[in-house]
Amino acid sequence: MHRKTEAGGVTAFHYEYDSLNRLIYLEHRREILDSLGVITQSVLVNHESMKYVSYDGGFRKITYNSYNLPYLEETETKDKDGSILEQTQRMLMASSEYKKKYFYNEKGLLARISMHYNATEIPYEEWLFKYDAYGNVMEKHLFKNEKFIRDLQIIYDTKTQLLGSTIQREENANYMMILRFQNY
């Protein structure tokens, strides 16, 4: 359960999981509290339920709304080693689809994530990753509609291999932030 305090009460989210620790039920409630913080009234705002079908190399998840109508279908495909290759979200009522494709380098480290909308060839968002010889992330680049947006560089101390500093650059805003880490 997760609660967020608001005027005169709390917004509460109740979660149920199956034996594989997958979310199968989500309930959103508005709970009214008295002056001592005791719940005097609990009103169901909405709920969702999820059903899963596992298959070799992935799963399919269907999410149902408060009227028990399916509105979201999610699939995930993995390779034989368990690395995610593709995740798809399909909005059943709106006929729209979002797809994430994952690509790995020769060491099995994540090299690129590309996100596509409605089966377009060109990703609307893409993340590129570069690593040092130890497998630490050195650079992370964000592109939107093939335009460079953000650069994050991570610099490690050459003696300790601990995080030394980060440099983040926002291309559109002409903004740069440098963080240095010392004495930890």
CB atoms within 10 A of CB 9: 21
**Domain range for residue 172?**
97-184
Look at residue 5 and tell me if it is in a domain: no
Cα(5)–Cα(42) distance, integer angstroms = 14
Look at residue 179 and tell me if it is in a domain: yes
Q: Find tokens 């993995």 and name the residue.
A: 78
Q: Total structural domains in the chain?
A: 1
What's the chain's average pLDDT? 93
Amino acid at 80: K
Look at residue 102 and tell me if it is in a domain: yes
Query: In this predicted model, what pLDDT tens digit does every residue of 48-89 receive, in sequence order?
Result: 999 999 988 899 999 999 999 999 999 999 999 999 999 999
Look at residue 8 and tell me if it is in a domain: no
Look at residue 10 and tell me if it is in a domain: no
Look at residue 1 and tell me if it is in a domain: no
Query: In this predicted model, what pLDDT tens digit does every residue of 165-179 receive, in sequence order?
Result: 999 999 888 899 999
Look at residue 110 and tell me if it is in a domain: yes
CB atoms within 10 A of CB 121: 5
CATH number at residue 158: 2.40.128.720
Q: How far, CA to CA in Å, does 176 sit from each of 6, 65, 153, 169, 182? A: 36, 43, 11, 4, 20
Look at residue 50 and tell me if it is in a domain: no
Query: In this predicted model, what pLDDT tens digit does every residue of 89-99 receive, in sequence order?
Result: 999 999 899 99
Q: What is the pLDDT of residue 182?
A: 86
